[in-house]
Structure 1
Amino acid sequence: MFTGLVAGTGTLRARERRGPGYRLVVGTTGLPGFDALDLGESISVNGACLTVVSQTATSFDADVSVETADKTTLGRLPLGADLNLERSLRVGDRLGGHYVSGHVDTVARVVAVEEQGEGWLVRVRFGEEQRRFIAEKGSVALDGASLTVNSVSGQELSVMLIPHTRQVTALKHWKAGTELNLEVDLAARYLVRYFEVSGQKPTESSDASFGLALERAGYK
Structure 2
Amino acid sequence: MFTGIIEEIGTVRSVTPGRDAATLEIAASVVLEDVGIGDSIAVNGVCVTVTEFSRDTFKTDLMPETLKATSLATVKHGTRVNLERALRADGRLGGHIVSGHVDCTAKIRAMRAEGNAVYMELAVPAEYLIYLVRKGSVALDGTSLTVFDVGQDLITVSLVPHTRAATILGAKKPGDLVNLECDILAKYAERMLQPSANQAVGLSLNTLKEHGFA
Q: Same fold (TM over 0.5)?
A: yes
Contact 2:192 2:203 in 1 (8 A): no
Residue by residue, what CA displacement relative to the aligned partner does 1:10-48 show, whole Å, maximum 9, x if unpaired?
0011111122111001111xx324244110000000000
SS class of match (2:195) = helix
Question: Runs of 5+ in structure 1 lacking a partner?
Answer: 212-220
Q: CA deviation at 1:106?
A: 0.4
Q: Pick from 132, 135, 150 the counterpart of residue 134 of structure 1.
A: 132
Q: CA deviation at 1:67?
A: 1.1
Q: How does 1:35-50 map to 2 (within 5 A)?
A: 35-50=33-48
| Total equivalences in the alignment | 208
Structure with larger Rg: 2
C-alpha spacing 1:202/1:115, structure 2 compared with 1 (3 Å): farther
SS class of match (2:74) = coil
The structure 1 segments of at least 4 consecutive aligned residues displaced by more than 6 Å after TM superposition are 201-205
Q: How does 1:105-124 map to 2 (within 5 A)?
A: 105-124=103-122
Relative to the length of structure 2, the TM-score reads 0.91
C-alpha spacing 1:45/1:204, structure 2 compared with 1 (3 Å): farther
SS class of match (1:111) = strand
Considering only aligned residues, what root-mean-square deviation do their CA atoms show, in Å? 1.9
Question: Runs of 5+ in structure 2 lacking a partner?
Answer: none
SS class of match (1:69) = helix
Residue by residue, what CA displacement relative to the aligned partner does 1:87-146 show, whole Å, maximum 9, x if unpaired?
000111100100000000101100111111011001111111101111111100000000
Q: How does 1:187-198 map to 2 (within 5 A)?
A: 187-197=185-195
Q: CA deviation at 1:77?
A: 2.2
> CA separation in 2, counterparts of 1:208 and 1:111?
47
Q: What corresponds to 1:21 in structure 2?
A: 21
C-alpha spacing 1:194/1:36, structure 2 compared with 1 (3 Å): same
> CA separation in 2, counterparts of 1:96 and 1:208?
38
SS class of match (2:32) = coil
Q: How does 1:1-220 map to 2 (within 5 A)?
A: 1-28=1-28, 31-197=29-195, 199-200=201-202, 206=208
Q: CA deviation at 1:174?
A: 1.0
C-alpha spacing 1:207/1:22, structure 2 compared with 1 (3 Å): farther
SS class of match (2:91) = coil
Relative to the length of structure 1, the TM-score reads 0.89
